[in-house]
Amino acid sequence: MANRPNVLLISTDHWSAELLGAAGHPEIRTPTLDELARSGVRFRNAYSECPVCIPARRTLMTGVSPRSHGDRDFGETMPMPNLPTMAQTFRNAGYQACAVGKLHVYPQRSRIGFDEVILDEEGRTQYGVTDDYEGFLADRGYAGRQFDHGMSNNDYLTRSWHLPEETHATNWATQQMVRTIKRRDPLRPAFWFLSYRHPHPPLVPVDTYLDMYRRTDLRQPASGSWCEGELPYLLQAVRTRAAHIGAAETRAATRAFYALCTHIDHQLRVVVGTLREEGLLDDTAICFTSDHGDMLGRYGMWAKRLFYEPSSNVPMILVGPAGDGRVGHHGVEDRLVGWQDVMPTLLDLAGIETPDSVEGLSMLGTRQREWLYGEVGEGDHATRMVRKGRFKLIYYPAGNVSQLFDLDSDPLETRNLVLSENHREVLDELTGILVSQLYGGDEEWAHEGTLVGRPQRRFRPGPNRGLSSQRGHHWPPPPKTDMKQIEWHNEG
């Protein structure tokens, strides 16, 4: 055990792969993550197989695809599948395993293999649980006040954080992880999972970080020629729900989003500094990633549940323990990886055998996948993806719409090549892969190997009486919500 490294897995929520200085982004400031990328390897082509919170986290913790763990939508009351979890596998190998922040499992206090979970569930009182962050605020004299700023968990209005900076969820998660590291058993290695809730809305950065971007001249989000015609039903819905977000609101939301990212980046310096001062840094492997990204206004769309790059392409930075030549430094990898690959990679770094149930591949191994399948949603709200080489196929069954993008020549996905005769062969190949992966009722979208989809529909918006899952004042605790009343688009 003395020769096995500690492992620190850091996850955020809604952070796209492009939002790193190391990835060439001209506006966002991420000096800590850029330095970690130079100290290890950055995987440019990392994807969330199901870019929405709960299914992605089930993949992360089990190392299997949505098809195997059973959730490709938002199974908020689905227990973790009966599979070995990453935490339990580390524990079985003699590690201490502790999680801090957003776990997003059901029941909320399920530890899924961790020795300890210090929980921040973003005010999900409908499950009947008061989490540890709410308890912290109460101890500081702010009982129930975390959502008194009035911003929603699924909206893009913004204002600055309304309580002292040290009470912000980002600072709280950092300090809890620092305390966890300091309270470790010195005779055993540790697996630490630090899961920040931001930059997921509500967009409430502290003023210090909002001020950093007040004078930044932000680019307008890109659009695409394919946006000009009739859109498939799902994209009609996504754009219609955001139709009220104009140019000024887009700039304000983007500034706040970037501020939340930079805040996390700077707080990671405290975690790394603690590892260094505790004499643990050289003996610790670090992985930074995110469950999915955010469209941030590209093509007039926001949030997740889509397979365009801002939503599905996630950051993946891996720093090995000192002297581990398998990882190296100043590396940029083009291999295609998914969230199912995180578990076998970290176990590989620790010298722990990967459970037979795991479908992912170690990012350090010689085996590489040729293509990756992605899926999210059911019925008319479904979309599917195949990524292979430089090309990506996105499919919408409602309307039977396919989109083909060449990410080398068109990284912003502005030109749909589905009608290009020069790309007929690659379109047929990726379509064949997609058809071969259909299951669970999706088989009806194809006939004799050809995609036929579902009838096109016209999206007609309904009311938004809950203000996109707006939370209220949490003292006394609100009554438990009837889960049947929660609709698919109100996940948070």
For 230-263, write each residue's pLDDT tens digit.
999 999 999 999 999 999 999 999 999 999 999 9
Residue 155 domain boundaries: 6-369+471-480
What pLDDT does 488 receive? 41
For 409-429, write each residue's pLDDT tens digit.
999 999 999 999 999 999 999
Question: How many structural domains does the chain have?
Answer: 1
What pLDDT does 59 receive? 98
For 68-96, write each residue's pLDDT tens digit.
999 999 999 999 999 999 999 999 999 99
- Residue pair 86/113 in contact (Cβ under 8 Å)? The answer is yes
pLDDT band at 482 (very low <50, low <70, confident <90, very high): low
- Whether 227 sits among the annotated catalytic residues: the reply is no
pTM: 0.96
What pLDDT does 161 receive? 98
Query: Residues of the chain with pLDDT > 70: what percent?
Result: 97
Overall average pLDDT of the 370-377 stretch? 98
- Residue 187 sits in a domain of what CATH number? 3.40.720.10
What pLDDT does 229 receive? 86
What pLDDT does 129 receive? 86
Question: Does any domain span residue 258?
Answer: yes
pLDDT at 319 exceeding the cut of 90: yes
Catalytic hit among 50, 53, 98, 287: 53
Question: Does any domain span residue 463?
Answer: no
Question: Does any domain span residue 414?
Answer: no
pLDDT at 21 exceeding the cut of 60: yes
Question: Does any domain span residue 451?
Answer: no
pLDDT at 212 exceeding the cut of 90: yes
Question: Does any domain span residue 199?
Answer: yes
pLDDT at 267 exceeding the cut of 70: yes
Query: Using CB atoms within 10 A of its CB, is residue 228 exposed (0-12), middle (13-18) or buried (19+)?
Result: exposed
Question: Does any domain span residue 476?
Answer: yes
- State the average pLDDT for the chain: 95
- Whether 104 sits among the annotated catalytic residues: the reply is yes
Question: Does any domain span residue 433?
Answer: no
Overall average pLDDT of the 293-301 stretch? 97
Catalytic hit among 14, 104, 198, 489: 104
Question: Does any domain span residue 445?
Answer: no
